[in-house]
Amino acid sequence: MTALQHSRFSARFGLTTPIALAPMALASGGALASACARAGALGLVGGGYGDLAWTQREYTLALQAADTGRIGCGFITWKLDEDASALDWVLDQPPAQRPCAMMLSFGDARRYAARIAASGAALICQIQCMQQAPQAVDAGAAVIVAQGAEAGGHGLNALNGRATLTFVPELADWLARHAPDTLLLAAGGIADGRTLAAVLALGADGALVGSRLWATQESLAPAGAKALAVQTNGDGTARSAVFDILRRKNWPEPYDFRAVRNTLHRQWEGRIDALRAAPEAARALYDAAV
């Protein structure tokens, strides 16, 4: 048995590699989740904002295409507080079709913890700072994801976010003292074998991988956006609320969004308040581009 297969995360979910697909909204659909599951990872469908029809279609596709027990789902917690119908639908499936894991991020998971536990799914809670760790343990999380600010997509803003390199070992030490049976995944900047090995050395049981898999053929992200991401290095991304404002996504503070710094992003990244006050012209440019 290899070191990767011997990780607690691999053993818990019957994996051959200690990786979980990040349940990225509108990208981690059935094709990507099932491809990850067939490759020996945990495939989490990106229920995201809780679109019921989308979740029904993509979760069903994932189950059919994976033909394994390594399929789960994930949601944005503060959106569930507005409408949890997609979560309810997934958890109400017949036992053989229920998710092996349910991941919640960006909010208090305790409201949904008993419902998830009753379904038999393992609760995965993603957190972004140490202050959130006791709440995740109190929710009964089987797995906690330590998301560093390097992560693509949504996370804590630059003022509040933690670096993966320091966050993971601090949380690993805290869990060893307070919740030793709770597994730890690292997220943020993990895209190859070197970075996976690094977070395992820091004390993680595995990794949640998003951006690297967002750019794959199986991802539902737009082809042009994926091509641009592949051509862009780390210097070409930044965290801001620009694209959330342009996409009409009302994310609460202190969360924002790491994205490629294209012309429209650079134009507004230093003028967030002005963009919030009068977004119409910039939104028209964004809508025309996508």
The rounded distance, in Å, linking the Cα atoms of 185 and 136 is: 13
Task: Kindly tell me the burial class for residue 118, based on how many C-beta atoms sit within 10 Å of its own C-beta (0-12, 13-18, 19 or more).
Answer: exposed
Tell me: pLDDT of 94 over 90. Answer: yes
Q: Give the model's pLDDT for residue 289.
A: 84
pTM of the predicted structure, to 2 decimals = 0.95
- The domain limits of the chain are 3-224, 232-289
Digit-coded pLDDT (tens) for 54-66: 999 999 999 999 9
Q: Give the model's pLDDT for residue 210.
A: 97
- CATH fit for domain 3-224, picks 3.40.50.10440, 3.20.20.70, 3.40.50.300, 3.40.50.970: 3.20.20.70
Whether 182 and 162 have beta carbons less than 8 Å apart is answered as: no
**What DSSP character marks residue 121?**
P
Digit-coded pLDDT (tens) for 45-90: 999 999 999 999 999 999 999 988 999 999 999 999 999 999 999 9
Q: Give the model's pLDDT for residue 120.
A: 98
